[in-house]
């Protein structure tokens, strides 16, 4: 996998995700925050929605906010989870979110965790042999 260098903009995006979950944290309802930078440069955030029957990750909430404001391409996306000491930590996207991000923007940069370190790569590299790839054959 090709890792990309983390930039100041990436650190700012992580901080935006941390900020949205710190402001809106409710145990058992909102424990993960996401931030994405669109190709316009604007930043959109979202928190995950937990319920008794189905949870919705923070990434699609942020993506929905972006799409609702006319943003069509993800430049970079990250999610963070609240941990016990109250300092959010970067969280890797789940499989469903990897499909979603790759469907909308295969060239998007995704900030995630590998081998205990915060890394960044292209969305398509997080999902080799994806469902989306199989429907293009
Ligand atoms: Zn997810």
3-class DSSP assignment, residue 9: helix
User: Which residue shows structure tokens 């042999």?
Assistant: 129
d(CA 66, CA 6): 22
Stretch 62-78: mean pLDDT, rounded? Answer: 97
**DSSP state at residue 1:** -
- Decide if pLDDT at 136 tops 80: no
Mark the residues whose beta carbon lies below 5 A from ion ligand 1.
57, 94, 97
Q: What is the pLDDT of residue 131?
A: 78
Q: What is the pLDDT of residue 137?
A: 61
Q: What is the pLDDT of residue 132?
A: 74
Stretch 39-61: mean pLDDT, rounded? Answer: 96
Q: Are 87 and 80 in contact (CB under 8 A)?
A: no
pLDDT band at residue 86, thresholds of 50, 70 and 90?
A: confident
Q: What is the pLDDT of residue 71?
A: 97
Choice between 61 and 131, residue whose per-residue pLDDT is larger: 61
The H or E element spanning position 119 is: strand 117-122
CA of 8 to the centre of ligand 1 (A): 25
What does DSSP say about strands 74-81 and 117-122: parallel, antiparallel, or unpaired?
unpaired
Q: Catalytic site residue 99?
A: no
């Amino acid at each position: 996998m090709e890792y990309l260098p983390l930039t100041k903009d990436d650190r700012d995006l992580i901080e935006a995700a941390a900020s949205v979950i710190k402001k809106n944290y409710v145990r058992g309802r909102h424990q993960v925050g996401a931030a994405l930078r669109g190709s316009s440069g604007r930043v959109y955030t979202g928190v995950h929605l937990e319920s008794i029957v189905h949870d919705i990750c923070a990434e699609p909430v942020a993506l929905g906010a972006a799409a609702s404001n006319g943003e069509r391409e993800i430049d970079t996306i990250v999610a963070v989870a609240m941990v016990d000491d109250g300092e959010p930590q970067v969280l890797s996207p789940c499989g469903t979110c990897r499909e979603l991000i790759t469907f909308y923007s295969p060239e998007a940069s995704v900030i995630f965790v590998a081998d205990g370190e915060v890394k960044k790569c292209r969305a398509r590299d997080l999902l080799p042999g994806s469902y989306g790839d199989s429907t293009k054959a």
